[in-house]
Amino acid sequence: MLNLQTFLIILVMVGSLCAFIWGSDSSKQLYQTQQERVYRAATFSFH
């Protein structure tokens, strides 16, 4: 379970970094979608 938490944290950090570097509207929309997926996965995993 700890490995899953670490993986999700790294995934969010990488997503944030990519969104910051690219900075276009399409990338921001894609990042929001990815963020929702990560949040749902985290919610599903922890509950």
Residue 37 corresponds to which tokens in the numbers above?
């997926």
The conformation of residue 46, written as its DSSP 8-state character, comes to: H
Residue 14 corresponds to which tokens in the numbers above?
């990488």
CA-based nearest residue to 37, from 15, 6, 17, 19: 15
Is the pTM higher than 0.75? The answer reads: no
The conformation of residue 23, written as its DSSP 8-state character, comes to: -
pLDDT at 36: 83
30 or 36, greater pLDDT: 36
pLDDT at 30: 67
CB 35 within 8 A of CB 16: no
Q: How many Cβ atoms are within 10 Å of 17's Cβ, its own excluded?
A: 10
